[in-house]
Structure 1
Amino acid sequence: MTSRSHSELDAVEFVQTVLDWLDDRDASAETLDDAFALLANQRRRLLLEVMRTYDEELTLPDAAEEVAIRETGHNVTNISPEHVTEVYLSLYHDHLPRLVDAGLLEYDQERDLVAPDAV
């Protein structure tokens, strides 16, 4: 029998918890695949976390800064402006459109504002 690391045990416990939770739901395989695909990327999860934390509209530059802080674990003064710009660009071109299309966030391009979807 192979021993597992602490992080592997955490992952196994998490998967088992998710599977137990799913047993109580009536979701199609396609819905589950779409949900897990949206959550598969850490930067998307961090953006959703930022928006849930603030629970109000933020400028995309402010949201990108918050994502960079959470991503690196550093204060914004210790993060290079290039990294924050890279986060902003990836959010703008990739992650934000996916989350908007899914109905999880709203985006006002004219004002560069991101908001939690008012479901």
Structure 2
Amino acid sequence: MGLNRFLPTRSSKTPNSPIELDEDDVFRLLSAQRRRHVLSLLSENGDEPVPVADLAREIAATETGGPIAVGSDAYETVYVALYQSHLPALEEAGVIRWNTDSATVEYGHSIPGLVAVLHAVHSRTVSRY
């Protein structure tokens, strides 16, 4: 039984249609802890856009074990990594919609399937966050 049971199917008829992710894409996207954290935070927030600054602050706080101020080294490191690497990868796969003008992120086409895989893994393993 493959990961396909968790993933939406491809349909290019409308821009909001789900897209297909193959197993390699799923593993690549979930391989980075910060991307997994972005998915968890978005799933907790529902359909509302989340500021990238809030994502960076939450992830930095988790990584350091305490509250993080905007502008701190830990915050800046996470923010830059999100901006340059993690958010582009998730957006390219259709997992998120990233509005660079408003610096917000929200659910994309493929997030339900990817979050289902993430939750299935979390329910069977020890989580770091």
Quote the offset at 1:80 in angstroms: 7.5
Q: Please tell me whether Structure 1 or Structure 2 has the larger radius of gyration of its CA atoms.
A: 1
Higher relative contact order (CA 8 A, sep 6+): 2
Distance in 1, matches of 2:109 and 2:25, equals: 20
Kindly report the root-mean-square deviation, in angstroms, between the aligned alpha carbons of the 2 structures: 2.7
Tell me, which stretches of 5 or more residues in structure 2 are unaligned? 8-20, 111-129
Distance in 1, matches of 2:3 and 2:33, equals: 25
With the length of structure 2 as denominator, give the TM-score of the two structures. 0.64
With the length of structure 1 as denominator, give the TM-score of the two structures. 0.69
Which of 107, 112, 124 matches 1:116?
107
1:67 aligned to 2:47? no
Distance in 2, matches of 1:72 and 1:57, equals: 25
Q: Identity over the aligned pairs, expressed in percent? A: 31
Q: Which amino acid aligns with 1:65?
A: R
Question: How many residues are paired up?
Answer: 96
**Residue 81 (structure 2) aligns with:** 90
Which of 23, 36, 50 matches 1:45?
36
Query: Is the 8 Å Cα contact of residues 97 and 105 (structure 2) preserved in structure 1?
Result: yes
